[in-house]
Structure 1
């Protein structure tokens, strides 16, 4: 296997031989993926059907739910299909497609939360200008920019992988991770390290800084307002703060696993840690917003009563 023309597929070697347990794993993973899709779709439908929710905050939430479905679909179908495979082979185009979807949905998650934080900042700190600044047209443009920026960020960071020559095809993971794919290339240049740093800065550091700045300003304003306004701010901002905190924890788990503790933790933990965000975040979003925001709860109740 001396060059890329001889490598037609990657082997996902982390599945191992789990015997009859694969049926139990398949059922658990399948229902978890199904629950993610149903929960996020219900929230999207509720926002779409109820005209009272056609506001910037809920339109941005709808976009976030779309991204959760995209993020989950980039992982779980391949994961399920490999459960009953003996070779665990994935052809290069499918592997690259999975990597593309995963590393577009990542920046989209952070930038979507940054857009939502900006929306809350305008709503709380500049309430009289809110309808002018955050009208429907501008929100749609903002969502479009989120996806364009996420796609461009991925292309600028990882498109070089598509042209690499590979001298191996064994990926020690259950999905196509870019770091492990780069390690299989015949020659690793400094470009790979620079691209990862660029991706982290553009897709995580900058939006996280914008989110932090927005909430610092919100906190300063809330200190000077009435108790009622403080309670309203807490109600609308808490889900986003929890989402951002969960993303931060997930990024730490990913970094620790691949940079520090690879040889010091069990294989199961080493495999699950990088997938923490793909497992928890898509489910956290609909349930945090669905059960915490009063308008969403009311709309869900009304839809259920109408069906009855």
Structure 2
């Protein structure tokens, strides 16, 4: 589709304040990216290779890890490249592509978290019917929906900003997001902004309803249960509750920062919080799920223990 913009590139001005310490920032982001890739790949491999973990909850955790790789890869390699080359400029086409990847990551993440809340609701409120209500076939369909719906739905909105003509080229961030790009338009972007606000509601409201509905019923069941059952339910829900809080803090701050005046917040804090939902969920979720869910933790430690034993065995040929 032809774009009638008068600019061909976008300047991400947040990089200007990082040049004096660019090697330090490069090292931090590089370590974070390697950590994200290593943690999520290990979690995916363990769940995929261990047949005892081929259950709905672990399958959802695996997809959460895959989406973490998807989102962080949409951001961090570009950040590392710009820091290494001392560049703050990105082509308009690359900016628009980054917008698509980052926004779809955000929607997929929240959708999977919503499906996981339903999984916890069924496990606690209907334990005897769990394998019927959450059969692998049904879970596969829910996961396909969690990925396919955001990827297709956002693409329908994504076409609108491509029609705009851009005259300004400065975005005060380390990456491109849709609202910041739309504000650079020469023409009146009111229609795009209104449609975008409607999309934000449509992409977040159903998931919020699912989460609140699930935990309202979980709390109701826990209120009439024994202390032992309450503790068991709490252990079951803690990783998911952490995932919700960890994601929502950064995601909703980014929405507020984009739509409202946040000049009263220190600039460095704004930059940090704008990166939060793209970095901290992918790096913390695997650690939380890997360590707090006993089945995953046991398989993970067993796998590394077996590797250590193999490495510690001396080659008999050394004694020949």
TM norm structure 2: 0.90
Tell me if structure 2 keeps the 8 A contact 1:153–1:202. Answer: no
Structure 2 partner of 1:92: 92
Superimposed CA distance per residue, residues 55-92 of structure 1 (whole angstroms, 9 cap, x where no aligned partner): 00000110011011111111101111100334422112
Structure 2 partner of 1:274: 274
Which stretch shows the higher mean deviation, 245-254 or 198-207?
A: 245-254
Q: 1:224 to 1:262 in 2, by over 3 A?
A: closer
Superimposed CA distance per residue, residues 139-166 of structure 1 (whole angstroms, 9 cap, x where no aligned partner): 1111000111111331233321122111
1:39-58 equivalences in 2 (<5 Å): 39-58=39-58
Structure 2 partner of 1:231: 231
Choose 1 or 2 for highest CA Rg: 2
Tell me if structure 2 keeps the 8 A contact 1:110–1:207. Answer: yes
1:223-262 equivalences in 2 (<5 Å): 223-262=223-262
Runs of 4+ in 1 over 6 A off after TM superposition: none
Structure 2 partner of 1:30: 30
3-state DSSP of counterpart to 2:15: coil
Structure 1 residue 19 displacement after superposition: 4.3
Structure 1 residue 181 displacement after superposition: 0.5
Alpha-carbon distance between aligned partners in 2 of 1:17 and 1:66, rounded to the nearest angstrom: 32
Superimposed CA distance per residue, residues 164-200 of structure 1 (whole angstroms, 9 cap, x where no aligned partner): 1111222222111211110111113332222222222
Q: 1:156 to 1:259 in 2, by over 3 A?
A: same
Which stretch shows the higher mean deviation, 259-268 or 35-44?
A: 259-268
Structure 1 partner of 2:206: 206
Structure 2 partner of 1:121: 121
Tell me if structure 1 keeps the 8 A contact 2:5–2:167. Answer: no
User: Does the alignment pair 1:170 with 2:195?
Assistant: no
Alpha-carbon distance between aligned partners in 2 of 1:26 and 1:157, rounded to the nearest angstrom: 34
Alpha-carbon distance between aligned partners in 2 of 1:26 and 1:304, rounded to the nearest angstrom: 30
Alpha-carbon distance between aligned partners in 1 of 2:156 and 2:240, rounded to the nearest angstrom: 28
Q: 1:86 to 1:280 in 2, by over 3 A?
A: closer
1:101-140 equivalences in 2 (<5 Å): 101-140=101-140
Tell me if structure 2 keeps the 8 A contact 1:158–1:195. Answer: no
Q: 1:4 to 1:173 in 2, by over 3 A?
A: farther
Which stretch shows the higher mean deviation, 28-37 or 127-136?
A: 127-136
Alpha-carbon distance between aligned partners in 2 of 1:239 and 1:101, rounded to the nearest angstrom: 26
Structure 2 partner of 1:143: 143
Tell me if structure 2 keeps the 8 A contact 1:253–1:276. Answer: no
Structure 1 partner of 2:312: none
Q: 1:129 to 1:11 in 2, by over 3 A?
A: same
Unaligned stretches of 5+ residues in structure 2: 309-320
Tell me if structure 2 keeps the 8 A contact 1:99–1:177. Answer: yes
Alpha-carbon distance between aligned partners in 2 of 1:77 and 1:19, rounded to the nearest angstrom: 17
3-state DSSP of counterpart to 2:174: coil
